[in-house]
Structure 1
Amino acid sequence: MRQDDKVEGSLSLGDRLLALFGETRAHAKARRPSVWSGLFGCLDDGGIFNLSLVALLSAVCGTTVLLLLNAEAREVEYHGYSDLMAFAFLALLVVYRWSQNYLIREATQEIELALHARRLATTRNVLRLSLEDVQTLGLRSVIDGIGAHYGTLSQTLVPIVAGAEGVVLLVFMSGYLVVLSPMAAALTSAVVVLTVAGFLASRTRLDEDMSQAVRSEDAFRELAEGLVRGKKELRLNPDKRAAFQNDMIERSEELAMGRSNAAAHFAAMLATGNSASYLMAGAVVFIMPLITGVEQSDISRIVVAVIFLLGPISSVVQTFQQVTTARFALAEIAAFQDQVEALANRHDADQSNGRVPEFQELRLNGVSYTHAGENAFSIRDIDLTLRKGEILFVTGGNGSGKTTLLRVITGLYPHHDGVIQMNGLRLAQYPPQSYRNLFASVFSDFHVFQHPYGLDEAGLERLDRWLVEFDIRHKLGADLRSIDANALSTGQKKRVGLALALAEQRQILIVDEWAADQDPSTRKRFYHEILPRLKADGLTILAVTHDDSYFDCCDRRLHMAEGRITEDSEAWRQ
């Protein structure tokens, strides 16, 4: 069974481990154990039971090492030496190291596999979303939801698992300390209880500080993106640059304050726990002899045991920070997963990749679409017909609705009102994938991927031919399975984008101001040679253009203004 399938069914070992420190995934809630029920009710799970045995083995070995050290110290005190104890010490130390390494390695691997499955499930749902949904979520939210939060969580796994092993070791060593001195054991218990109580009391404030830090970081990252994307404008305008710098300083100060507040809480907890631990050791040395009259030899053994306890106690205290960070990251991951899943479930069940019958006609009747937000732009009452094998130009000023219309036609945006029919069949508000398979596109904000996804060997051959056709083949490497578009100009990227679109062999080609960034000779060849050849091959072309000198190259021209089609826009070209 694949790991991502386990998430859909019974909980995997990694899911169970995540549940122990606050996993809140919605689809697992019905079966998600609480922290305590997870600890005591998961022995039926062989994986957790095995890890528990390894943790117990590690604790037993660590405690026995301490016992042997005290026993051998007493032997040396009476001028004795035991070869057997020395051998047992080394053997137990090897087992302790192996068990601790095995526990951390196996637990973190299982959790990473569970996170991998969830990341894949979320990615699948994001791929199901419409362009409208992704824009609603926001680019930064999507990137964080499938990447950044997982990275934060992964960084906490090793310390948390090590801290859990430290808890078991602390219990066993405390038991040994009880045998040596109930008073010292009581002091140790008081330190642990006070530390945990302090953490629980400040956890709400910690969550608030971390949330504030995340919000500040989002704002700062947005400015950092503007620093890169708007470098030209900032370089040319010193007033704009100074104001932008001041804004970055303010956001950076907010980010630093949020992080430092959270760090201050953790530092106070850590310092208090460590100080209390050393105070406990001091009480054993300076106070216990006065109260209980313990012999000097017993004091020495108790001090050794207390010193060994400082390590597990410090590990547990430091784990609190990692648990808080992990819980926060898990909450962010779960919230994003639930949001994406809710959006994805709105779409039709048809997610097939099957091709539609041969395209004949696409008809829009009274179609409207409104962008999200108050007083948002909309296109309204769109009536048009697109027929097989024709070239339709779309013209209009900036903000007239041309790109929005193309996105509605291609199914990237759902139409809010009206009817869309393809070959006489009415389409749902969210058209199925079989409909979107009609279109190949080069939008104005197109993206050239690092690899020509979706192209087989025949497709790569077609891509090679079109790249040669557009005089851009020599700019790319010998192997077209990897494409580096960073060194290309905007016009060159558009040539690569069009070559990729044509290599897909779709029935309708959508281009948005493709020729705007081309040199005059390429622009002329596009309109006078490429488009007629594509039409002769049976393609339907829908192109946004402002090249009025080439309006005679289309069969019809559609003009838009303020989200509407003008009355004479669909008149046949004379």
Structure 2
Amino acid sequence: MGKRTPPPSRPPSYLLPLIGLADRSILTRLVVTGCVAATANLISLMSLSAELSGWMRGEVLDTPFLVFCLSLLVAYAFSKRFVALTLTTAFSALAGVRRRFLLHVTLGGHADILDLQAKRSFDLGNHHLERIAALLPNLSIAANMMLVAAVAYLYLWTLSTVGATLLLVAALMVGGWYVREAQRTRALLTDAKESELRMLQGFSELVGGNAEIKLGKARRDELSQAVEADVARWEELKRRHGRNLGELFSWIATIIIGFSAVFVFIFPRMGAMSVSELPLVTSVILFLARPLSKFLNAVPDYVAAEDAAAQLTALLGTMPALEYEPSRTARAPRRFSSIELRGVGFAYRAGLRPEPFVIGPVDLTIPAGSVVGIVGSNGSGKSTLLRVIPLLFRPDEGQVLLDGQPVETDRLEAYRDLFCAVFQDHHLFTRLPQGPGFDAELFREMLAYLKIDHLVPDTGDGLLNRDLSKGQRRRVALAVAVAEGRPVVILDEWTSDQDAEFRTRFTNEIIGKLRSLGRTVIFVSHDGDVSSVCDVTIRMINGRMDMPANKVASAAAMACLQETA
């Protein structure tokens, strides 16, 4: 039998490397800064104690007051520097994580991005980032308080070894109990969050299906009762959480004051401490109360931040690999002779579809200026082929060639720049493209041609009206695509949300309009026989291409182009 591979060891912290605080030089600066602030705080306390002792002896001392003022200023300056350095380092690191997201979204594989989008991974990643960012200010102050407590404790050790030892034992016992209770409280919060999510989903269904529930009492009552149950569950968990927090904070205050009483009432009677040491030791104990309370109260926040950092680190490990290095000089040629697919096959990865699906092999030549129509039943692979042609989906086998040359990784960015597309799930951006390749005059002309110009006024700032129906949004998207001036236009079931007029105009006029502008058109359609407007008509059947008779026409068109070239 082979040796068992041990599971990967969990790092001591996911949070510190993620927020940039695992760097030794930064940690050293933070520790030095925090210790200076803590020492200054302790000196201010000692000066107060000295002043108090002087008053008890009937003396008025000026030196403790001056030391107190100076140490207080130093403590303020270095505490401020500690928190500022912690937060600026951490927020810069989190901004770097966001930039990684941006890089992977823009340059990662399209199929992998769709997979992550289906799993809502980017939404979860941003949610975890926001959680960490919201917790950081409190955690940075708690870290400063921890150093203050550590320095004060070391000083207490020099005053009373027995007292310091007892305090350490008590702190460990209380800390262990507190962490256990904090984890239980956090579990309540997790359950409450799940109830809240179900409750919000229920509200969403009640709003989205409001017309349906008003027409059906049984359905309305069923959904209402489910939401009411989630509201009741959320209320109960939140109330238990509140009671637990109140109990935790009360116990902390009680234990700290009670421990101070041990020094005042018991140690002098035992002879473990002289009466002259009592004011200073008691002052140090009471001084420790604030940083210890702040530190313990931050434990649940740290646990939550570590959990978010662990999930965010795991998500970063699943980010799609970059397909290529972006280039500022690579630009697609605005003229080409042909695009060719040779033996191209593509299989969906697990997660993109509920069951395995493969298209290919596909052999196809698309001459420049031609019109290619793709037809077939639902789920036959039409839309998938539309994403393979511009290499949004990279083929698992075969080649895509531009003017006879394989499109390798170094040419991928320029090749994709040949295409503009209006997919079924197209996204209409809030602002028009601002680059020099965008023809604003042609855009307005296409809006008028598509009878949508009255709903998309020229605001002068490039902002688009997106408060439109699906069919209207598709018309605006087509006008934008044409105005971008790219030589190949991809349209995925563009007529599916159009009225009868535009379904008719699409084949009778719009295809011809695009051809007259010199564009190569590749479209998917369900609207009957489109072969009359196509140079090539492809029928997809279960992922395979059924080449029609007019493939000969495309070959003839290709030969004609080559003769005139």
TM value normalised by structure 2:
0.80
What is residue 95 of structure 1 aligned with on the other side?
A: 74
Letter in structure 2 aligned against 1:355: R
1:156 corresponds to which of 109, 114, 135 = 135
Letter in structure 2 aligned against 1:536: S
Q: Distance in 1 between matches of 2:114 and 2:195?
A: 21
- Using a 3 Å threshold, how does the CA distance of structure 1 residues 518 and 210 change in structure 2: closer, same or farther? same
- Using a 3 Å threshold, how does the CA distance of structure 1 residues 482 and 291 change in structure 2: closer, same or farther? farther
Q: Distance in 1 between matches of 2:362 and 2:218?
A: 44
Residue 355 of structure 1 pairs with residue 334 of structure 2: no
Q: Give the conservation status (yes or no) of the 8 Å contact 1:414–1:431.
A: no
Q: Distance in 1 between matches of 2:403 and 2:246?
A: 68
Residue 515 of structure 1 pairs with residue 495 of structure 2: yes
Per-residue displacement from partner, 1:153-183 (whole Å, max 9, x unpaired)? 1122222221221122112222333344333
What is residue 121 of structure 2 aligned with on the other side?
A: 142
- Using a 3 Å threshold, how does the CA distance of structure 1 residues 134 and 20 change in structure 2: closer, same or farther? closer
Per-residue displacement from partner, 1:102-152 (whole Å, max 9, x unpaired)? 221222011111221222123202222223102322345432355211111
Letter in structure 2 aligned against 1:190: V
Q: Give the conservation status (yes or no) of the 8 Å contact 2:107–2:324.
A: no
Letter in structure 2 aligned against 1:309: L
Q: Distance in 1 between matches of 2:240 and 2:407?
A: 54
Q: Distance in 2 between matches of 1:537 and 1:54?
A: 67
2:403 corresponds to which of 400, 410, 423 = 423
Q: Give the conservation status (yes or no) of the 8 Å contact 1:384–1:570.
A: no
Q: Give the conservation status (yes or no) of the 8 Å contact 1:24–1:331.
A: no
Q: Distance in 2 between matches of 1:529 and 1:240?
A: 47
The alignment partner of 1:548 has SS state of coil
- Using a 3 Å threshold, how does the CA distance of structure 1 residues 96 and 429 change in structure 2: closer, same or farther? closer
Q: Give the conservation status (yes or no) of the 8 Å contact 1:451–1:482.
A: yes
Residue 183 of structure 1 pairs with residue 162 of structure 2: yes
Q: Distance in 1 between matches of 2:220 and 2:437?
A: 49
What is residue 397 of structure 1 aligned with on the other side?
A: 377
- Using a 3 Å threshold, how does the CA distance of structure 1 residues 419 and 57 change in structure 2: closer, same or farther? closer
- Using a 3 Å threshold, how does the CA distance of structure 1 residues 200 and 317 change in structure 2: closer, same or farther? closer
How many residues end up aligned between the 2 structures?
A: 540
Residue 124 of structure 1 pairs with residue 100 of structure 2: no
Q: Distance in 2 between matches of 1:264 and 1:213?
A: 14
Q: Give the conservation status (yes or no) of the 8 Å contact 1:460–1:480.
A: no
Q: Distance in 1 between matches of 2:113 and 2:409?
A: 17
Residue 534 of structure 1 pairs with residue 514 of structure 2: yes
Residue 466 of structure 1 pairs with residue 446 of structure 2: yes
Letter in structure 2 aligned against 1:354: A
Letter in structure 2 aligned against 1:290: R
Q: Give the conservation status (yes or no) of the 8 Å contact 1:508–1:541.
A: yes
- Using a 3 Å threshold, how does the CA distance of structure 1 residues 294 and 56 change in structure 2: closer, same or farther? closer
- Using a 3 Å threshold, how does the CA distance of structure 1 residues 187 and 132 change in structure 2: closer, same or farther? same
Q: Distance in 1 between matches of 2:116 and 2:513?
A: 41
Residue 545 of structure 1 pairs with residue 525 of structure 2: yes
Which stretch has the larger CA shift, 484-493 or 347-356? 347-356
Letter in structure 2 aligned against 1:368: G
Q: Give the conservation status (yes or no) of the 8 Å contact 2:87–2:137.
A: yes
Q: Distance in 2 between matches of 1:458 and 1:208?
A: 54
Which stretch has the larger CA shift, 201-210 or 70-79? 201-210
Q: Distance in 2 between matches of 1:498 and 1:116?
A: 35
Per-residue displacement from partner, 1:505-532 (whole Å, max 9, x unpaired)? 1111011222333344445554444322
Q: Distance in 1 between matches of 2:199 and 2:409?
A: 37
- Using a 3 Å threshold, how does the CA distance of structure 1 residues 538 and 556 change in structure 2: closer, same or farther? same
Q: Give the conservation status (yes or no) of the 8 Å contact 1:123–1:146.
A: no
Q: Distance in 2 between matches of 1:431 and 1:261?
A: 60
Where do residues 366-377 of structure 1 align in structure 2 (5 Å cutoff)? Answer: 366-373=343-350, 375-377=355-357
What is residue 288 of structure 1 aligned with on the other side?
A: 267
TM value normalised by structure 1:
0.79
Q: Distance in 2 between matches of 1:569 and 1:271?
A: 84
Q: Distance in 2 between matches of 1:287 and 1:167?
A: 28
Instruction: Give the drift of 1:387.
Output: 1.8
Q: Distance in 2 between matches of 1:479 and 1:83?
A: 72
Instruction: Give the drift of 1:63.
Output: 0.8
Letter in structure 2 aligned against 1:545: S
Q: Distance in 2 between matches of 1:430 and 1:176?
A: 65
What is residue 344 of structure 1 aligned with on the other side?
A: 321
- Using a 3 Å threshold, how does the CA distance of structure 1 residues 321 and 220 change in structure 2: closer, same or farther? same
Instruction: Give the drift of 1:500.
Output: 1.8
CA RMSD, aligned part only? 4.2
Q: Give the conservation status (yes or no) of the 8 Å contact 2:431–2:462.
A: yes
- Using a 3 Å threshold, how does the CA distance of structure 1 residues 217 and 344 change in structure 2: closer, same or farther? farther
Instruction: Give the drift of 1:311.
Output: 0.5
What is residue 408 of structure 1 aligned with on the other side?
A: 388
Q: Distance in 1 between matches of 2:407 and 2:238?
A: 50
Where do residues 36-47 of structure 1 align in structure 2 (5 Å cutoff)? Answer: 42=24, 45=25, 47=26
What is residue 309 of structure 2 aligned with on the other side?
A: 330
Q: Give the conservation status (yes or no) of the 8 Å contact 2:14–2:309.
A: no
Q: Distance in 1 between matches of 2:241 and 2:316?
A: 26
Letter in structure 2 aligned against 1:371: Y
The alignment partner of 1:138 has SS state of helix
Instruction: Give the drift of 1:286.
Output: 2.9
Per-residue displacement from partner, 1:397-436 (whole Å, max 9, x unpaired)? 3223221121122212222344433322334699822221
Q: Distance in 2 between matches of 1:476 and 1:287?
A: 83
Instruction: Give the drift of 1:314.
Output: 0.9
Per-residue displacement from partner, 1:175-208 (whole Å, max 9, x unpaired)? 3333443333233222333345457778998998
Q: Give the conservation status (yes or no) of the 8 Å contact 1:401–1:563.
A: yes
Q: Give the conservation status (yes or no) of the 8 Å contact 1:219–1:251.
A: yes
What is residue 559 of structure 1 aligned with on the other side?
A: 539
Q: Distance in 2 between matches of 1:263 and 1:166?
A: 25
Q: Give the conservation status (yes or no) of the 8 Å contact 1:389–1:535.
A: yes
Q: Distance in 1 between matches of 2:394 and 2:59?
A: 86
The alignment partner of 1:381 has SS state of strand
Where do residues 259-270 of structure 1 align in structure 2 (5 Å cutoff)? Answer: none
Letter in structure 1 aligned against 2:256: S
Q: Distance in 2 between matches of 1:414 and 1:227?
A: 41
Which stretch has the larger CA shift, 196-205 or 371-380? 196-205
Where do residues 24-63 of structure 1 align in structure 2 (5 Å cutoff)? Answer: 42=24, 45=25, 47-63=26-42
- Using a 3 Å threshold, how does the CA distance of structure 1 residues 329 and 60 change in structure 2: closer, same or farther? same
What is residue 56 of structure 2 aligned with on the other side?
A: 77
Instruction: Give the drift of 1:546.
Output: 2.8
- Using a 3 Å threshold, how does the CA distance of structure 1 residues 365 and 232 change in structure 2: closer, same or farther? farther
Instruction: Give the drift of 1:307.
Output: 1.5
- Using a 3 Å threshold, how does the CA distance of structure 1 residues 154 and 264 change in structure 2: closer, same or farther? farther
* Unpaired runs of at least 5, structure 2: 1-10, 555-565
Where do residues 95-244 of structure 1 align in structure 2 (5 Å cutoff)? Answer: 95-139=74-118, 141-144=120-123, 146-198=125-177
- Using a 3 Å threshold, how does the CA distance of structure 1 residues 501 and 567 change in structure 2: closer, same or farther? closer
What is residue 12 of structure 1 aligned with on the other side?
A: none
- Using a 3 Å threshold, how does the CA distance of structure 1 residues 424 and 257 change in structure 2: closer, same or farther? farther
Which stretch has the larger CA shift, 202-211 or 400-409? 202-211
Which stretch has the larger CA shift, 561-570 or 69-78? 561-570
The alignment partner of 1:392 has SS state of strand
Which stretch has the larger CA shift, 84-93 or 186-195? 84-93
Residue 495 of structure 1 pairs with residue 475 of structure 2: yes
